[in-house]
Structure 1
Amino acid sequence: MKTIATARITSSAPAAEFFARWADMATWPEWNTDTAWVRLDGPFRAGATGVLKPKGGPEVKFVVATLEPGREFTDVSLLAGAKLTFRHLVGRDRDGRTTVDVEVTLGGPLSFVWSLILAKGIRASLQADLDRLNDVCTSRTEVAA
């Protein structure tokens, strides 16, 4: 597996708010600018499958590989000859704020081809998408307070 991009934020929003946004996949296009739509086939849990449509690209099947609410959410897109993995780790800093780290990796026999196609765009948008997600989570927390 090769890491192609990473991003990090620190937030006043609780970890549960990030997991609520990730679970509500139909709203991903609101903060993920590269995504046209996402459909999850069943409940948000480890092993769940779905389909997403990147803007300008073909539909892609994915699986929720890991889901530990409050700690980790990992989804794996199943590409021809490769797997594109988005690992989201949630924690707390010394001041009690929520931290979210995202690592995107690519592996498989055709990963070099997919890296040429996808890596530059993912690197260009990952931090901005995580920042937008933080804005959504923070504003939802402020409204609820």
Structure 2
Amino acid sequence: MWTQSYSKTVEGLSAAQVWKVWSDVDSWHVWQDDIEYARMNGPFETGGSFKFKPKGGPNLTLELSDVQPNTSFVDITRFPLARMVDSHELIERGGALEIKTTIRMEGPLAFLWRKIVGEDVVKSLPAQTDKLIAQATLACA
């Protein structure tokens, strides 16, 4: 198993503001320039799923394995003999908000999928988090 995390703490932004952007999966392409589209198949809740197409990548179906509104969500991408578990957390601490993402690769071929997908996802987290913050700020301005 392989795990990597990235977090950033900001002031003046609430968990509800970020959640509004995160839970609007159909609009992810607006603030994530590395995806062609993301489309929810029903409500953004535990057990839900969405279609996801990274630029230059295959069409994927991601499963929402745990959704806690305004707090966290976990999505799972399945690969042959491996899966990527992507955990997103919002942690409020005395006027500041920590936005944390943890990527975990599991399964017999996790080492391979880490190289093919996981490491690039982790490298993109700082820029993606900054874009999320900008979109949350803009959406609630």
Q: Given the two structures, how large is their TM-score scaled by the length of structure 2? A: 0.91
Paired residue for 2:58?
A: 58
Letter in 2 for 1:2: W
- Describe the SS at the equivalent of 1:123: helix
1:36 counterpart residue number: 36
Question: In the alignment, which residue of structure 2 is the partner of 1:91?
Answer: 91
Is 1:9 the counterpart of 2:9 in the alignment?
A: yes
Does the Cα contact within 8 Å between 2:5 and 2:100 map onto a contact in 1?
no
CA apart distance, 1:5: 4.4
Q: How many residues end up aligned between the 2 structures?
A: 141
Misfit runs of 4+, over 6 Å: none
Structure 2 distance, partners of 1:92, 1:7, is 13
Unaligned residue ranges in structure 2 (runs of 5+): none
Q: Secondary structure at the match of 1:37?
A: strand
Residues 70 and 91 (structure 1 numbering): CA distance in 2 closer, same or farther, change over 3 Å? same
The TM-score normalised by the length of structure 1 is: 0.89
Q: CA RMSD in A?
A: 1.5
Alpha-carbon contact 1:4-1:119 (below 8 Å) kept: no
CA distance in 1, matches of 2:51, 2:9: 27
Check the 8 A contact 2:81/2:109 in 1, yes or no: yes
Q: Which runs of 5+ in 1 are unaligned?
A: none
Superposition pairs of residues 89-128 of structure 1, within 5 angstroms:
89-94=89-94, 96-128=95-127
Distance in 1, Cα, partners of 2:74 & 2:2 = 16
